[in-house]
Structure 1
Amino acid sequence: MSRATVELPAATKAFLTRPHTATLTTLRSDGTPHVTPVRFTFDVATGLVWVATRAGAHKARNVAAGGSAARVALCQADGFRWVTLEGGAAVTGDPARLAEAVRRYTVRYRTAPPAPLDLVVVEIAVDRVLSLNL
């Protein structure tokens, strides 16, 4: 998966550090959207979003089934302010990437994420950012 760096205004960066929940939209095999609430972290320097989840979760299975063409959208909203991060996605169980995702999640949400035995990370290489009122 290629990593794209995106330029974000300071207000958008600050908004994305707040401990809000977002929605993650993946595509089912029939092309219909699957939308689920998630907690996530975003590394502005690399343009990567991490969503920790179970390997058996629909979102992880949808991304894995999409292969190298998998694309997702993650949207964080607060009232009439919102940011959508779009990009290519992949699922990884790499221990170093899992550890980094868990570390960032713990810092952002001040609690560790759930730790199921099949914990994986959906990584999103952000290449498009849409926002309103930021």
Structure 2
Amino acid sequence: MRITGNKPLSGVHSRGGKKKVDGEGVAFQPDPGGDGASAPAVSSSSAIQGMDALLALQEMRLETDQRQVATQRGHTLLDNLEALRAELLGGIVSEDRLASLAKSVEDRVESGDPQVDGVIREIELRVKVELAKLGRFSD
């Protein structure tokens, strides 16, 4: 998009000079009094506590939950099915791929989430159907 017609804004006016001060014309001046409260001293222990917290966070192990494991397994099964489809279209199906698919169907992981488990069971069923078509699965 091309923008044409650069004309200045008409409602904007610049004001020159200094602003006038209301009242007697006295400007702000800081109070040099000696009663001012001083800031408390900062101790170095707060920095050490911050470092301790960072080190403790680094030492924590993040445990993989069953849902992530099951989801990863589903993705792996789908990738293997896609590779099997490509091999079928090419006319050559490797025995290693079929053996890998048969082994992966046997390893069942429950995620604890009924929806995820349902999707994984549907993927497993599809793998079993493809293996049965090729004569490699019997339940």
Q: Give the number of the structure with larger relative contact order, counting CA–CA contacts within 8 Å between residues 6 or more apart.
A: 1
Query: Which category describes the TM-score, using the shorter chain as reference length?
Result: under 0.3
Q: Which has the higher strand share?
A: 1
Q: Which has the higher helix share?
A: 2
Q: Which has the larger radius of gyration?
A: 2
